[in-house]
Every structure is written in C-alpha cells, then in structure tokens.
Structure 1
Amino acid sequence: MAQPVEQPVKSKTLVVRSAVIAALGGLLFGFDTAVISGAERSIQELFQLDGFWHGFTVAIALIGTVVGSLTGGKPADKYGRNSVLMAIAVLYLVSALGSALTSSWIGFLIFRFIGGLGVGASSVIGPMYIAEISPAALRGRLVGLFQFNIVLGILLAFLSNYMVASMVTTDAWRWMLGIESAPALLFLVLIFLLPSSPRWLVLKNRREEAADTLARLGVADVGAQLKVIEESVYSEQHLQTERLFVKRLRVPVMLAILIAFFNQFSGINAIMYYAPRIFEIAGLDHASALFQSVAIGVTNLVFTMLAMSIIDKVGRKTLLLIGSAGTVVSLGLVSTAFFGDEPAGGAVVLVGLLGFIAFFAASQGAVIWVYISEIFPNRTRAKGQTLGSSTHWILAAIISWLFPVVVGGDRMATSYAFAFFTLMMLLQGWVVWRYFPETKGKSLEQIQEEFGL
C-alpha cells in the first residue's frame, strides 16, 4: 500500500490560533497543579491533618485527575473535542471558586477533586485536538504549546503564591486558589472560536464539514488530505475490534505506559507539589522557599521554550536521551546535598533542582504529550491518550501522596528519595535508547504504517 502523504498548508493562521486557545487548558492544568504548593502548609494547619491525611489532601486533585483522564476520551469521541473542552473549562471554574470559599475539609476535598477531573480530561483532549488539526511539520511545536502553557501556568502559580503571601496576611491560601477562576472563565469563552477536528468529523461521517474545516485550516489540497484521513479511518473501521490491549497495538501501548511511568518516577510532581518544603528541609525560611520556587518555574518555562523550538529538528528520542543524562547528574547532586551529618545546604539543592528542571523540561516535559498523541491510530487515539494520561496521573497521585509521608522533614530520607529518582532516570535512558522509535517529521498516518497499523 502506498504511504499516505499529508498535504501542506497555505495559511497557518487558524491552525496556530486554535492551538493557542486549546492550549489554555494546559495553562489551567499547570496552575492547578502548582498552586497547592503555596497553600498546603496553611491547609494542614487549618484542618489539623497528620502526614498521611495531609498527603491525601494534596493528592486528592491527582486522584480526580486519574478519573478525568480515564473518562475524558469516550465523550470526546461521542460529542466532539470542542464540547469536552467546554466542560473542562467549567470544571476548572467551579473548582477554583469552591476551593477558595469552602470552610470544611470535606468541601475542600470535593472541589479539589473536581479540579482534578478537569486536569485529567485536559491532559487527554487538549493534545489530541491540537494533533488532529495540525500539519506534520508543525505538530510537534503546536502540541508543545500545551506543555508550554502547563509550565507557564506553573510559573504563574508559583509567582502568584509568592505575591499573595507577601501582600495578604489572613487566609492567603484562599486567594491563592481562587485566582484561577479568572483564566478559567477566559478559556470557556474562547473555546467558542475553535473549529471542530477534521479527523473527528470524518469519524462521524460528516465529510462536507470536514472538507470545509480543512479548507479553513489552510490545507493546500483539501481533497487529497481528506482522502488520506478517510483511507486511514476506513481501514480502522473495518477492524474486528476497537480494544486497546490487542497484539497489533502492543508497541504504542508499551511506549505510552513507559513514557508516562518515567515521567513520574523522575520525581517531577513531588518537586512541584512540595518545592517550598524541600527548600525548608535544606535550611531556608518559608518566604525564601516560596521565592526559590519561582526560580524553578522560570527555569521550567525557559527550557520548555527551548525544547519547543528544537523538538521537530532534534527529534523526540534524542531529547529524551539528553534529558536522561542531565537529570541523572542533577538528581544525584540533590541526593548528595542532603546526605550525611553535614549536608551541603540550600545553595547546592537549588542548583541541583534547577538543573533537573532544565533537563526535564527540555526532554520528558515537552515530549510526553507530543509522543502519546502521535503513536496511536485514529480509531484508538482517544483510548491511547487516556491510557498514557491515566498511567501518568495514577503514579503522580501515589508519589505525591507518599512523598511527605516517607520524607517528612528528615534530611536522610530526602536524600534516599532523590537517589531513587536518580536510578529511575538512569533506567529511562537505557529504555529509550533500546526501544523508543523516532516520530519527528512524519504524518500520523505514516507513523501508523511504520507500526504496521
């Protein structure tokens, strides 16, 4: 069978604008993830929580994220990517206002769980939508916008926490959490400007609408591109099964699980959720710890931008290999800094964490959502995104729940935790080198054909 050739685009305006709007879900994703780091100490004191229930309270949003990532794909296939993006915006809005205004621990848990539902669904639907409207030559950078907005949201959350803590003396944590409602409302309004995914329209046999959308997206030869999508969809619709865990899909399934596994066992969310506490264990006061968290956010943003600019040139696999080497060195430095009776102190910890964030952002952080959105065929892409995302968030919930229980305020326990993360990144480097194929510069249909799908 001849390899399908994706058609070039005449104009990138609508494609880029739509990707930017859809990626706002990533900004809310990042903000919601990081904002709790500034509020978690006050919440623990307010509700008088021990280590176990404190970890659970921080992780409840991630538990919601697991549910959201598992359930987001099916309505996206049934009702469309746009409708689900609107629902996600509403979840973010309700969660922000509810978490800020509630006076009970149970109410707080419920509203944070609702926000987690939005994060989980967004991690599936946002990259999926952007991948399906983007030409191959731009897909890596445009799907990378989602990751860029995640790290921008993380930076804004760290910065917002620091500013609120500096200006508000009573119930600052409520302002920290409530501010998210503003970008959530903006996201909800802008979603109405998005075109439908042409691939989803073809899946729903709405050929004329798909052709019209491809034309609006600037595809040079609409007929040829529509034929490429239709042939791919037709071949998939005549398969005996839609199940994900079948022999023919074992390669993309394995890759999705592995990249999500190593993403979380790098320790990234333990750092994002507990960065101020980690700096305090290293000897910094609370205000300085919040400020150092801003430095982490800035580094994350800068190196994500770097990765976005080179991901379609350097390639996904190469970035993962470089990132593996860099994170091993950086995490090893942090582990060493906490080790022994006379630890190295806050400055060394800051250097190690900034190095880790730089290498992580330039590799795993930028690659994961791009890679998972590329490796599954149209008919199972939603399920594949759900698999990768849910694996990612289940592990994130476990690590974020257990990290404060295991580490507490002990330097040696912290050293051992970072030594474990170091070993995981060493293992990631070998697995990526041995098993991960390169996908840069290939259409979704070409990738499917190379996988024998």
Structure 2
Amino acid sequence: MGAKIFSNVYAIGAFAAIAGIMFGFDIGSNSGVIGTEQYQLFFEKPSALLQGGINGALSAGCFVGALGSGYPADRFSRKYTLIAASALFIVGSIFQAACNGVAMLCVGRVLNGISVGVTSMVVPLYQSEIAPKEIRGRIVAVQQWSITWGIMISFWIQYGCQYFNNTAAFRVPWGIQGVPAVILCAGMWAFPFSPRWLADQGRMEEAFQVLADIHGNGDRTHPRVIVEMEEISATIHFDKEIASHRYSDLLKPGMAYRVFLGVALQIWQQLTGMNIIMFYVVFLFQQAGIGSDQEAQLVSSGISYVVNVVMTVPAILYVDKWGRRPTLIIGALAMSIFLWIVGGILATGTWSIGPKDKYIVELDNKHKANAVVACIYLFVASFATSWGPLGWIYPAEIYPLRVRAMAVSLSTASNWLFNWILNFVVPMLMEEIHYGLYLLFAAFNFLMCVHVFFAYPETKGYTLEEMDVIFEYNPRKAIPRDVMDQRLEERGIRRNEEKKAYEARQAGSVDEKSGHEENV
C-alpha cells in the first residue's frame, strides 16, 4: 500500500507541491508583521529604504536561486535539488526566527529566497515530467494552489500573533514557515526520480521501472508505459545524435522564440497586478477608505487570500479541458476589465493626504467603495483560475529535455526579477499616480491578452516529446494526428497500429484516458 502511494502520480505531484506552501509562507511572512509595534520597536523603526532592503532581500535571493537552479537540477536530479533547497529553507527560517538584528534577518531572508527560487523552478519541472499529458496541467496547477494556501495561512498566523506583547509576534510566524520545509526534506526521499531525467542520464532501466510504477501500476507491458518509454528514448537519441546538449542552444532560432515565450509569460504574470492585491491590499483598502479601522481592513484583506485559495480549485480540475490559450486569454481580459473598473471608480473620488502622510481617496457614496471591494475579489478570482497556475504550467512543458531545466530557470528568474522590481515600485506608484496605477495594470492585462492570442500555441493534450512539432506549426488549434505521427517518425518515434489504437481510446474522460483510476 505504501509503495502505491509513493508511485501515485497525484501523490507525487501533491507532495512536491509542499514547496509551494514554503513559497507562500515566505512571500507572506513579512507583510503582516512589519506594521506591528513589536517589530518596529525591536528593529528601531527601520527607515523606508532599510525596510525596502529587508523586503527585497527575499526577492533577490529568489532571483539568484531560480537563475542558478538549472545546473543542479540537470546534474544531481530534480529530486535531490528539491531536498537540498528545502534543507536550506530550514536554515533560513532558523536565522529569521532567532535574529538579533537586521543583518541576521536579511541573511535568513536571502537563504529562504534562494531556496524558494530553486523550488519554484524545480517543482513544476518535476511535476510536468512525471505526469501523463492528459492531467499534466492539473498536476502542475497544484503547485499554485499550495502557494495560495501558504500565503493565506501565513496571513492569518500573523493576524493572530499580533496580539503577543513581545518579539514572539514576529518570531513565531518566521519559525512556523520552516515546518513544511522539514516535511518536504524528510519525505521527498521516498518518491521517485523524474523518469525523463533518469533516461537523460542513461539510466534507462530505472526510467522504465519508474514509468511502469507511476503510469502502469508496475506493469512494464502496459501500452502507455511502452509508448512513453519509446518516445523518451527516441527523443534523447535525436537530441544527442542530431541536436546538441548545450545551453547555447537556447539562443538558436526557434528555441530562442520558445525561451522568449516562457520568459514573457512569467513577466506578464507579475504584470497582471496581482502583487498590488497580495502585498498591498491592506493599504489599498485603507487608501479607498474601506473599513473604519485596521481590524476591518485586515479582515477585508484576508478574504482576498481565501478567494485566491478557493478559486484555484477550478483551474486544477478543468485546466486540461479548457486548454492553455483560452484560459490565459479570458483570464487576462477579465482582469483587465476589473482593474479598469477599480481605477475608474477611484478616479471619481477626492484624493488627499491622510494619516501617516499617506494619500487616501474619499468616495461620495458607500456603493462605490463596495464596488471596489467586489472588483478586487473578482480580479483575484480571475487570476487564481488562469494566470496563477498557467504561469507555472506553460513554461514547464514547452522545452525539449536537453535544455528544459536551464530554460525553465531563466523564465522563473525573470518572474522573480520583476517581483523584486514591483516590490519597490508599486508603493511609490500608489502614492504618485493614485488611481492611474490600476489603469496601468489594466492596460498590461489587455496587452498580454493580445500577445497570447497571436503568439502562444496550444499545448494541451500533447506529450513533452511532441512539443518540438507543436512549435514548428505554432498552432492555435490541435494538429492533425496523422501530421503529428509523420513528424514524430522523422525523429525516430514510430507508433504501430496497437499503439495508435491505444491512444485513440484516450478520448474519454481524463481519468479514463490516463488509466489512473486504479492508482488514485
């Protein structure tokens, strides 16, 4: 029974996604405590510049971790890289919880950032390589769901800890964030290596057994296992005999376009404006005069985190049915509309300097304030069902094995770079251009909708080994099966009639197609 759990695709993907909880904990671990009196007194009321440096230490570490994670993921495996990163996160959490000043706090945040940067790249990569094509999006989307859980739990832990009258108000949240890292570090040893990584290392027998365990209930003669193993073997042969295995391939025509799409998608994910909501939602509600006191503003803010968690569930269940392109396009369009409305409503108010020298807006009736709250929640829901999970799914599935780790690390690093930029820029923009900030991000969402429509092919329902053909055609709709077979045969991947008949039976439900009913 235990062996079945450790070879179950859903269990493997979900356990690896514990790194997402670490991700969410660390993102939210500072936002709720920096305004408490206990924090301000202990760190002697850090200046805006110093506080910006403390906040930015995490994003800087994430950028470095994501950028440098490609080599260890290729050299030492996805599995061992995750274990090492989780161990580093434990150390960073200890540094933060035990800090005696700003220097030690920043060291801990940098270490945690490096860990989060590594795991935010490696987890979607690992999940995409162990999942069958029919449920690959669902498995990788669990990573985003875990992030939303981490952010929400972290927020409410901080909310409760604010009532401590000593340094426990910030030490407890910083210490608790290490718990999921301990679980991941201890438990990941029991789960398998990526079969595609094993095959790329020449360990074909082990790769075959892992595929049999996770896709065929241990049966090596299962048609899916045979088809997938032959595809992987032929693709690796093609890469090593005809193509090359160098990172310079990322700059070659065709491949550079794919790298651009992955990097652009991760940058667009940051430019959706979700950071405004997740990091500065308390200030946003305060700015709009919503809630009569800090308690009401915090509760209103906390609801947005709950919406984020709940509305990621439809993406997990249906992203492999909806498809990547329509989900991204409709999500961006919806977010654009809701931000236009928020900006438009705030533009009708009277702006003035309020408490703590912060600009606030006075709206002429309560209905407008309620409309702002509703549109913010709808914006969060739109992000959670679209760009939240797809930002991790799409880049993890579009590259060939020979450069996949390095290409995904570049796209993830671009995400963290823009995260770091926005952490510094957004507070200033909220003060300088007021409602114009929401109109700016509304425009970004509209532009990303147009970009996806014209530039991004549909990848739903294809194996990772079929992506080269997908990007040759750059289709907006499915490629005919006979065309795909012909192109695969040119790469040494041949499907006999038995395999074709098996794949034809995959037209049923997701669980029927993947043959995982008995494994779940």
TM class, shorter-chain normalised?
A: over 0.9
Task: State how far apart, in whole Å, the 1-side matches of 2:202 and 2:233 are.
Answer: 9
Structure 2 Cα separation of the partners of residues 48 and 177 of structure 1: 19
2:271 paired residue number: 265
Q: Where does residue 371 of structure 1 map in the other structure?
A: 394
Q: Which amino acid aligns with 1:242?
A: Y
**Whole-Å separation in 1 of the counterparts to 2:463 and 2:49:** 47
The alignment status of 1:41 with 2:35, answered yes or no, reads: yes
* Candidates 293, 311, 321, aligned match of 1:313: 321
Matches within 5 A, 1:377-388: 377-388=400-411
Change (3 A) 1:97 1:280: farther
Bigger shift: 442-451 or 306-315?
442-451
Match for residue 105 of structure 1?
Answer: 102
Alpha-carbon displacement from aligned partner over 1:360-410 (angstroms, at most 9, x marks no partner): 111110111110011111111101111110111100100012222333xx4
Q: Deviations over 1:237-273 (max 9, x none)?
A: 2324432121130331121122112111112223322
Contact 1:137 1:441 in 2 (8 A): yes
Tell me the residue number matched to 1:395.
Answer: 418
Q: How does 1:196-235 map to 2 (within 5 A)?
A: 196-219=193-216, 220-221=222-223, 222-235=225-238
2:30 alignment partner, SS class = helix
- Matched position secondary structure for 1:425: helix
Q: Secondary structure at the match of 1:149?
A: helix
CA contact (8 A) 1:158 1:293 kept: no
More helix by share: 1
Alpha-carbon distance, 1:337 to partner:
3.8
Residues 252 and 84 of structure 1: CA distance in aligned 2, closer, same or farther (over 3 Å):
same
d(CA) in 1 for partners of 2:166 and 2:237?
Answer: 60
> Which residue pairs with 1:28 in the alignment?
22
1:322 and 2:325 matched: no
User: Which fold has the larger relative contact order, with Cα–Cα distance below 8 Å and residues 6 or more apart in sequence?
Assistant: 1
CA displacement, residues 116-172 of structure 1 (integer Å, 9 cap, x when unaligned):
11111111100000111111011110111111111111111122222222x423231
User: Cα distance 1:247–1:279, how it changes in 2: closer, same or farther (>3 A)?
Assistant: same
1:219-247 Cα distance to aligned partner (Å, 9 max, x none): 32334322210111121123244321211
- In structure 2, the residue matched to 1:247 is 253
Query: Residues 85 and 267 (structure 1 numbering): CA distance in 2 closer, same or farther, change over 3 Å?
Result: same
Residue in 2 aligned with 1:7? none
Separation of aligned partners in 2, 1:400 and 1:357? 18
User: Is contact 1:162-1:291 (8 Å) kept?
Assistant: no
8 Å CA contact 2:22, 2:178 repeated in 1: no
How far is 1:44 from its partner? 5.6
Instruction: Give the secondary structure class of the aligned counterpart of 2:165.
Output: coil
Amino acid in structure 2 at the alignment position of 1:333: I
Can you give the 5+ residue segments of structure 1 that lack an aligned partner in the other structure? Answer: 1-9
Report the equivalent of 1:431. Answer: 451
- Amino acid of the residue matched to residue 160 of structure 2? M
Distance in 2 of aligned mates of 1:157 and 1:11: 29
Q: 1:300 aligns with which of 308, 328, 332?
A: 308
Per-residue displacement from partner, 1:405-437 (whole Å, max 9, x unpaired)? 333xx4x63312222111101111111111111
Q: Which has the larger Rg?
A: 2
Residue 352 of structure 1: CA displacement? 2.3
What does residue 168 of structure 1 align with? 164
Q: What is the TM-score normalised by the length of structure 2?
A: 0.81
Give me the whole-angstrom Cα distance separating, in 1, the residues matched to 2:107 and 2:5.
Answer: 44
- Detail structure 1 runs of 4+ shifted over 3 Å in the superposition: 10-13, 42-45, 221-224, 342-349
Identity among equivalent positions (%) equals 29
Matches for 1:133-144 after TM superposition, within 5 Å:
133-144=130-141
Give RMSD over aligned pairs: 2.0
